[in-house]
Chain A
């Protein structure tokens, strides 16, 4: 009995031991499973976050935003303490900090904001010539790398090239930790998962930055305002035949006597001169909500989709800007320049013309041609800005400007007669004064002229010229009146000026 009982107890104990061992194994297996699961979860999370990052990259055209996305990922998903992105300096001889974040002391942050790394830094050489990355773990025995890290306040770090393999980097991504905080951060380990994710991030960022550079370059050919006008998110959405038709004001600007100015210059000087001029006046168009449809040699064609006042204010500002620009030219010993601006308002079509492989923006309409003719007339009337009656009618309050009536004109190639006005707010102050003082006499003279009272008109015109002997408008009417007196005028005479040249 005792033996049976002892045997039973022994068996139970053995069974118990086996069960315990099974439990231990099951628990160990479960722990291992959980450990693997955790690792997979982490990888999946990083994978998802990288996907999210790529969506964020796709949604922006702003380089600084791209860099912020990179930094946020490094700090908050990869859990490094500090992150810097360096971009090449203009001269390309060094990389300088473009963005940084993480926990730095105020002093560290101050020094890092001006931090630069020479492109010929010996420690960077392997990165620039062949390797994708430089890893400096906390226990690195490479003194040069440790010293390099101290310069950007990291005791363990990774530097990744933003640029393809074998290509010159377009930037450097640095992520790492200070020794004090490393314990609470993702550690820098050469074969660590975080470094692989960092490399993935760097690759994505590189592609985005390259695309962005291309996009920025293309924007120089197709302005953002043009895309906005067509409500297109990107240049790639622009297609041949895209157009928008609405009432707009179109502006033509030209440099007077460009041919005679440029003939004394070398080709390079001509380009420098034109580009220098464009640099001065082009931003004004954007300021007043217009956009440049195209540059035409020394001329600019621009449209203002919103208000005629935008176009006129831009024209006046341009004239003032040229006056300032001339002071600068005179100081350099260069002759001053004059520009003429023609404005007309009407229904027109702005669109994309050309062929599939070569497109450009253009504005098409009879009104466009008319605006071009008005610009041509600025020289004839010696007026800085000429606007059509349609533009005049489109102004919110014409009394806000210094405007005088010019003439009734039938431009070359058109049958319709249009009334023209000169806006002289952009003229030199003394000339403005003369035009204001003689404005009533000129208006009376024009009235008498159209009433065929040529002698009375001449009297008034002489009054104008007595004050302002160079007034070409007064001279024009004086000559016309004399001609009419000499030749006589038919019953059907209207007094319109018919232009036989452009």
Chain B
């Protein structure tokens, strides 16, 4: 078995729920202090204070990679008194009303609840066998699944996971008669594209997927949206294998890219310029109203020798796609729609907490700081101004679309727990 279950822990939070009135306290904390110990202390203290929590049961955290990852996770874990912790490295963080795409930002969500049950773990070996890793997660969560299990939060290594294989293997192994919705984001590393990190309690690993299974007296409202528009004519994948596209329109993929990117953008600018042109695969009309016309795939890497490009999920030979381009106007409309979709699902209820997984390609590389703030403000005002809100800028967003768990690019995925 290539996959390795590194650790897992379970906290049953509603042991005494029949005696006491059920409640959930959630607090959000953030720090940009350069010293990881102080940053951890500030973020945890703020999270506990804003949530009026004496001791947290469960902690989500996301952190930029400027911090030494082992140090910052260790201190957040310690300062939270050893509460179960799940999270990953990020390109930027989202906490409350603020986004931060600097190299030094850590955000923490502290939860104390007797109505939510959170179980966490981590699985390694994504690069060698993502399917095996998916099966390992299935094995870890199988016994913990209940009728009230609401979803699985997943934070895999963006640079090594084959999401399609991971997900398919996990779902096949679980063989559930209902959808176990997956939410989360692919761990990122501030555009360095070198190494991402996944957190489980005080452990920090790469080439792994951290997960948290959420059960209890709750529901998850989810929505996903992008803001891209097609450019020019369609292209056909003429040779591919798995998630590697070797040829487009009968030519090495990189050659086709030359139509859109200059030599400089293809060489030294790669890393940000690859994010300029998502590949847009046409979606059935039934989902386009809520989601948008295209299912988007980022070109994560290229091989100059073979001229191939790699996307996060598998593609089919002869599949057609359009080069697309992000459009701020569409993004604004999409965010508005996203907020209303969430609002429609939760009705009059107030979410207990909200996760926002935002593509790094929709961050500062594309829109200006004040535009980013305006988008977040608009979203928060629609969904709930006072709701504890946490998220990060990802290398890929995970959320179900039309009843199928998917990894997305260039989207915003929201999960509101209510």
What is the bound-complex CA distance between A24 and B264, given in angstroms? Answer: 13
CB within 8 Å of A: which B11-60 residues? 32, 34-36
B276 contact from A27, A38, A76, A184, Cβ within 8 A: A27
Report yes or no: B104 in contact with A184, Cβ–Cβ below 8 A: yes
Contact of A20 among B232, B262, B265 (CB under 8 A): B232
Task: Write the chain A residue with the least CB distance to B367.
Answer: A34
| Contact between chains at B34 and A75 (CB < 8 Å) | yes
Q: How far is the CB of A82 from chain B (nearest CB, A)?
A: 8
**Chain A residues touching B, majority SS:** helix
User: Please, how many angstroms separate the alpha-carbon atoms of A19 and B35 in the complex?
Assistant: 52
A215 within 8 A of partner (CB) = no
A381 interface residue per 8 A CB criterion: no
Q: CB distance A23 to B231 under 8 Å?
A: yes
Taking CB atoms, residues of chain B closer than 8 Å to A184 are 64-66, 103-104, 190
Are A23 and B102 interface neighbours, CB within 8 A?
A: no
Docked pose: A324 CA to B231 CA in angstroms? 90
For window 398-434 of chain A, which residues contact chain B by CB distance below 8 Å?
none
CB pair B34 A103 closer than 8 Å: yes
- Chain A positions within 8 Å of B, measured between CB atoms, are 16, 19-21, 23-24, 27-28, 31, 34, 37-38, 41, 45, 75-76, 79, 81, 101-104, 181, 183-185
Structural contact, B36 and A103, CB atoms closer than 8 A = yes
How far does the Cβ of B70 sit from chain A's closest Cβ, in whole Å?
14
| Interface assignment of B251: CB less than 8 Å from any CB of chain A | no
Cβ contacts under 8 Å, B190 to chain A: 184
Q: Looking at the complex, which one of A20, A23, A41, A102 makes contact with B368 (CB distance below 8 Å)?
A: A41
* Chain A residues positioned under 8 Å from B104 (CB to CB): 184
Residues of B within 8 A of A (CB): 32, 34-36, 64-66, 102-104, 190, 192, 231-233, 259-262, 265, 273, 276, 325, 364, 366, 368-369
CA distance A41 to B34 in the complex (A): 23
Known: A102-B35, A184-B103. 13 other contacts (CB 8 A): A20-B259, A23-B231, A24-B260, A24-B261, A24-B262, A27-B260, A27-B276, A31-B265, A41-B369, A45-B369, A81-B34, A101-B34, A184-B66
List of A residues within 8 angstroms of B66 by Cβ? 181, 184-185
Verify A37–B65 contact, CB threshold 8 A. no
With a cutoff of 8 Å between Cβ atoms, the chain B residues found around residue A21 in the complex are 259
Question: Are B262 and A28 interface neighbours, CB within 8 A?
Answer: yes
Contact of A23 among B32, B34, B192, B232 (CB under 8 A): B232
Contact A37 B260 (CB under 8 A): no
Tell me if A16 and B103 are in contact (CB < 8 A).
Answer: no
Report the Cα distance A23→B231, complex, angstroms.
8
Residues of B contacting A45 with CB < 8 Å? 369
**Please, how many angstroms separate the alpha-carbon atoms of A185 and B67 in the complex?**
11
Q: A residues within 8 A CB of B232?
A: 16, 19-20, 23
Q: B233 — nearest CB in chain A belongs to which residue?
A: A16
In the bound complex, how far is the Cα of B263 from the Cα of A28, in angstroms?
Answer: 11
Enumerate the 3 nearest inter-chain pairs by beta-carbon distance, A residue then B residue, closest first. A184-B66, A184-B103, A103-B34
CB distance from A31 to the nearest CB of B (A): 7
Q: How far is the CB of A47 from chain B (nearest CB, A)?
A: 14
Once A41-B369, A103-B34 are accepted as A-B contacts, the answer to whether A31 and B231 lie under 8 Å apart by CB is: no
- Kindly report which residue of chain A lies nearest to residue B104, judged by CB atoms: A184
Which residues of chain A are within 8 angstroms of B368 by Cβ–Cβ distance?
A: 37-38, 41
B33 CB to nearest chain A CB (Å) = 9
Contact pick for B259, options A24, A34, A103, CB 8 Å: A24
18 inter-chain pairs at a CB distance below 8 angstroms, sorted by A residue, are A16-B233, A19-B232, A20-B232, A20-B233, A21-B259, A24-B259, A24-B260, A27-B325, A28-B262, A37-B368, A76-B32, A101-B34, A102-B34, A102-B35, A183-B192, A184-B65, A184-B103, A184-B104
Instruction: Enumerate chain A residues within 8 angstroms of B32, measured Cβ to Cβ.
Output: 76
Give Cα distance in the complex from A21 to B104, angstroms: 40
Least CB separation from A105: chain B residue? B35
| Cα–Cα distance between A183 and B67 once the two chains are bound (Å) | 11
A109 to chain B, nearest CB (A): 9
